Chain A
């Protein structure tokens, strides 16, 4: 066996899964390590990213959004990636790993449907059979993405158990995998879950940060003062942060969903308000009762509606390398509309959280400040939902 990866980030992470799943996770780690050393794999991954998905994505300087003249704000345009969000990056990587392991089926979970869509398109392209678990409530509120997945040949399985959202879809995907691991790969969609997923997902998204570095140096001749990304499980944020973790002059800021406010129970801010515990195979910050039962999260954005956070974010928080802020539904909805009106870009509600925080920073800045926001996805999927909100009908939240 070649070298093993570290399974933890400080105390966080690990492999808290049934013994039955350990061989499948070990197999995945080996396949990943071998693929990282294999120039043919890297070449194929890169060519899919460039020629199929549309990398590199642009870094766009906003023209009208920021009124403070001391502030320059750039958007990393993951919204322009095929599939509509950053999710496509790592899905292509894991789909190639699936084939490398000789597996023919893919299991995935999805919340907003973005990871499901990315999985469906990659499986259509690479000839894999996809079955995607989605909370019944999400199937209802994200109907266009359900249709997209089915159009591309994926089976979408509504999950009625529990709260009928992302957390329950992950549970069901893990249950499926424990019976099907011989032929199926569990293509986990965020930088959470048991090792080696947080590491694999980061590595397959880290081109986001590498491109930001090269692009901002070319445009501004210097690195940004701050890099801002939204955090649910934390995949787009870790992809943007990874290349900058050892560059301390760049402030890394993750933005969690404060939902209806951190003083309420309706939010998804696991770092701000959660406590340490184990969910879905990893030790991290989670939302739980004092007895250890997992609480339901809430956010206007389905993609941030998750009661835990990826273990590396928990670690970056504890060591002070990244800071984690939060933004309410209302602030995110304002940023969503502002970007549309001022720049002609409709962002995903998830990404609108990062943008809202960057706008707060811009308002407060007294010195020259260069900010990059990872605009992780586009807002097409959110149009109906936002329309309802703006009409004052918030019952569908």
Chain B
């Protein structure tokens, strides 16, 4: 059984939803980034969603843009990021690790080669922010070859045809968009998303985890009450890094506290 399936099975028996924090790898530098991810796991993260910094992140708001710039200014490369994941995987054999990035970084080494390297590093899933389902075929083929789950996005405006495709093609989990727009806590997720969640259930999609605009435990609770299998918080997590760049010990403490607070809201 794959790591996401194991996680969902465990959470079901514990009557909980998943809490999944997102951070950009290499932010603010490679060594601190490793400690950041350890702090997220220590705080109780059920899975990890990790970004590779890209120069032109069109789906991201200011907070995650800045995190990418911090990492890029330190010269962090996709290979550095996969090396960080490799080290995390050595310590944490069971936690599902998802990669979130943009298509040009996958194309640069070649699609198949990128997926091979990701699998080797211990990645479970890949979500490419600028690859919609209709362009996904070569990426999904590489994912299949290398045993990686391609994560699909279900936006609030999805057509029935798109939902059907998600039903047929999704694996791992379905990234449920809480609202339109880009990442960021400036605009909160629309609640409840129960309508879209039940449609996804009807088409047989992989379990939905709600993201975009999630920053508070109440939102995690509401997402799970609406039928989501969990919630992802990206910008809210990254903001903690940004606010404590001068005090790394405090950064790590606050990150663990934040994750613990969000996790505590996942009880059904």
Contacts and interface: CB of A to CB of B under 8 A. Distances in A.
A178 B108 contact: no
Given A175-B61, A277-B108, A15 B159 contact: no
A175 to B, nearest CB: 5
Interface stretch (B28-36, B41-49, B129-137): B129-137
Interface residues of A, number: 33
A29 to B, nearest CB: 12
Contacts of B264: none
A175 B58 contact: yes
Interface in B76-118: 77-79, 102-108
Interface residues of B, number: 41
Interface string A266-279: 00000000001111
Given A18-B130, A175-B58, A181 B180 contact: yes
A294 to B, nearest CB: 5
A185 to B, nearest CB: 15
B72 interface: yes
A292 B58 contact: no
Nearest to B166: A19
A18 B132 contact: yes
A92 to B, nearest CB: 27
B108 A291 contact: yes
Contact of B135 (A15, A277, A290): A15
B204 interface: no
A98 interface: no
B182 A175 contact: yes
Contacts of A16: 103, 130-132, 135
- Interface class of chain A by DSSP: mixed
Nearest to B179: A179
A178 B134 contact: no
Given A16-B103, A19-B162, A181-B180, A293 B55 contact: yes
Interface stretch (B150-158, B218-226, B239-247): B150-158
Contacts of A179: 180-182, 187
A277 B104 contact: yes
B54 interface: yes
B55 A290 contact: no
Given A14-B135, A277-B107, A278-B107, A293 B54 contact: yes
A294 B72 CA distance: 12
A22 B132 contact: yes
Contacts of A22: 132, 134, 162
Contact of B78 (A20, A167, A174, A291): A291
A102 interface: no
Nearest to A16: B130
Interface of B: 54-62, 65, 72, 77-79, 102-108, 129-135, 152-155, 157-159, 162, 177, 180-182, 187
Given A19-B177, A20-B180, 11 more contacts: A19-B133, A19-B152, A171-B58, A175-B58, A179-B181, A277-B107, A288-B104, A291-B108, A292-B54, A292-B78, A292-B104
24 contacts: A16-B135, A17-B58, A17-B132, A18-B129, A19-B153, A20-B153, A161-B65, A171-B57, A171-B58, A174-B58, A175-B59, A175-B182, A178-B58, A278-B130, A279-B56, A281-B130, A291-B78, A291-B79, A292-B78, A293-B55, A293-B105, A294-B55, A294-B56, A294-B104
Interface of A: 14-23, 161-162, 167-168, 171, 174-175, 178-179, 181, 276-281, 286, 288, 290-294
Sorted nearest first, the 8 A-B pairs with minimum C-beta distance are A292-B108, A179-B181, A20-B155, A293-B55, A19-B153, A19-B132, A292-B105, A292-B104
